[in-house]
Amino acid sequence: MSSTLGGIGSTTTYYVRDASGNVMAVYESGSSTGGNLTQTEVHLYGSSRLGILNTSVNVQSGNLLVGNTGNTIFTRGEQFFELSNHLQNVLVTISDKKIQHTANNVVVDYYTADVVTANDYYPFGMMMPGRNYNAQNRKDYRYGFNGKENDNDVKAVEGGQQDYGLRIYDPRLGRFLSVDPLTDDYPSWSPYPFAMNRPIDGIDLDGGEWKPVMGGEDGKTVTDYTWVGFNKDGSTPEGSVAGGSITTNGLTANFNSYFIPYFDLDGNRTGGKSGGTISYNSPSELSGGGKSVRIGLHEHGVNYSLLGGYGGNEYSMGSGTISSGENPAGNPDYSFSVGGLTEYTNRQLGANQTRIGYSFEGIESDGLGPVDYFLGAGLFRKGAGLFSRTAVNLFVSAAEKKAVQTELMIGAKGATKLLGPGLKIADNKLVQHAPQWGISQKGSSLTAEQLGKMRNLANHIYKNATTIKQGIWGNPSAGGFSNALFYSNGKHLIISESNGNMITILRNAMGNKHFNNALTIWKK
């Protein structure tokens, strides 16, 4: 619970949040409520925030206690639902009330929505002058651009300042007001930009990270589309697939043309491969194993298939049947995962190969259910929709370990999927190490906001790990761990047990001797 204190004779506001920092309810106490603690808002959630129920429940009156009786008054128009766009910008809020219209005052001809607020935004979030609406005598809606909460009290301008969690943002400037806490990781960037200056196709997640927003609809046949892959930095469109149709629940995937770029380990383009039609009409076409589509290419232009069979060798990526070109005969096994659910890790690569990691998604775990979109080595993920953030990461290596990475991202930066047990954050360790990040003083507790920042940092490091190592943490003879996992983003560390329980977080820890003694098990 966090609280905002007013001055003498004013009101104190209490925010009740869940473990992730989402506001669940708001209470007020003070002059506006006659001194009684009063619930004023209940936030409504589905898979994301839906809106707010405005209430005025005196929780000190005892009416809520079990055994008391009384009438319940239900009022329409106090429940606000937000209508937002792909950036989560709250454009319109409507209430649960519908307004009837009648021509003759007898028969209701139709109903219209009860619009409470409406706003339009410039790309960086400033509200467009003259394009704001707030119904008279109705409470304002506290969320706005990117779905973030407006701090209207600070600048006396609606939407003039927003709280992104890690930082405060001024949409009129298009800049955050403080330095990016992750600025050490991005030395080529100014520490103040919003959403990496890409506010159209992505949002700033928490003041520390740009998140692409690209999505489609599931379960529909899509025609006349263009798929665009991005380079590993997500900054330059690379590759495309055009034409054809994709059908879910039956795996129809016909493509007229494609261009697949490939990259070296530094992410530089080394060429590409264009081709003709790729066509599947049903899952049976993929059955039997060994039917593969080549998609990864080696630096000499030799084809390697990274897409294996389906059916006979379910999910195995061409087990024994890497399709063409310089098929590394005798070394057919690749380790990869399917659907984010099953990971095949016991397969060995040949001596001249290096695997950096495959992530295959899009097939039901049993392979029998509705088949997700499936494109060569890539696939189109069910649920997340077409052209979603789902990543397809392929890594193929060639002779003398001159590996070439073909990294295709259906989506954009941030698409890389890290397969792991999930991080179960230890708040006590966040408190212990918060002073290292300049978030608190040694020996001080953390506010809900500070704790939220530390949780975001921990998740950021974990999700953006470029190296995972496994080894000893502490002294196993004295309470340490012999099988700890070290997640490094190249600068900081998250250390966890193998079951995902977080052991600790360390800043600027690349010199840590435990980390350096551990065995690298994954590298991006």
Partner 1 sequence: MRKINGFTIIEVIKVVYENTLLELYFNIRQSKEEMSFCLFISEDGETIHFSQSDGMKSVSDIASEIYTVMKITDNVDELAILINSEITDVQFGIGQTLDKRDNVLYYFKISTSTNNFLFFNDGDKGAYSFDNIEEILAKDIYGYKWVKDW
The span from the CA of 459 to the CA of 434, in Å, is 14
Least gap, CB of 497 to partner 1 (angstroms): 12
Q: Which is nearer to partner 1, 175 or 507 (CB)?
A: 507
Instruction: Enumerate binding residues for partner 1 (CB under 8 A).
Output: 428-429, 431-433, 435-436, 442-445, 472-481, 495, 503-504, 506-514, 516-517
Q: Which is nearer to partner 1, 287 or 436 (CB)?
A: 436
Q: Which is nearer to partner 1, 415 or 509 (CB)?
A: 509
Least gap, CB of 478 to partner 1 (angstroms): 5
The span from the CA of 171 to the CA of 125, in Å, is 5
Least gap, CB of 467 to partner 1 (angstroms): 16
Least gap, CB of 186 to partner 1 (angstroms): 21
- The CA angle 28-455-184, to the nearest 5 degrees, is 125
The type of residue at 410 is I
Q: Which is nearer to partner 1, 415 or 484 (CB)?
A: 484
The span from the CA of 277 to the CA of 188, in Å, is 40
The span from the CA of 499 to the CA of 333, in Å, is 27
How many C-beta neighbours within 10 Å does residue 21 have? 17
Q: Is 178 helix (H, G, I), strand (E, B) or coil?
A: coil
Say which DSSP state 476 is in.
G
CB 390 within 8 A of CB 398: no
Q: Is 456 helix (H, G, I), strand (E, B) or coil?
A: helix
Least gap, CB of 513 to partner 1 (angstroms): 5
Least gap, CB of 515 to partner 1 (angstroms): 9
Distance of CA 524 to the CA centre of its chain: 18
Q: Which is nearer to partner 1, 103 or 478 (CB)?
A: 478
Least gap, CB of 432 to partner 1 (angstroms): 6
The span from the CA of 519 to the CA of 17, in Å, is 39
Minimal CA–CA distance to 409: which of 427, 390, 429? Answer: 390
Q: Is 48 helix (H, G, I), strand (E, B) or coil?
A: coil
* Polymer length in residues for the chain: 524
How many C-beta neighbours within 10 Å does residue 94 have? 20
Residue that has been written with the tokens 């897409």 in this structure: 307
- Which value, in Å, is the radius of gyration of the alpha carbons in the chain? 27
Q: Which is nearer to partner 1, 109 or 442 (CB)?
A: 442
The span from the CA of 296 to the CA of 400, in Å, is 18
Q: Which is nearer to partner 1, 34 or 476 (CB)?
A: 476
Least gap, CB of 511 to partner 1 (angstroms): 4
Least gap, CB of 471 to partner 1 (angstroms): 10
DSSP 7-38: -TTSEEEEEEE-TT--EEEEEEEEGGGTTS-E
Q: Which is nearer to partner 1, 369 or 480 (CB)?
A: 480
The type of residue at 514 is H
CB 210 within 8 A of CB 203: yes
Residue 427: φ, ψ to 5°: -60, -35
Q: Which is nearer to partner 1, 381 or 429 (CB)?
A: 429
Q: Which is nearer to partner 1, 31 or 432 (CB)?
A: 432
Least gap, CB of 165 to partner 1 (angstroms): 23
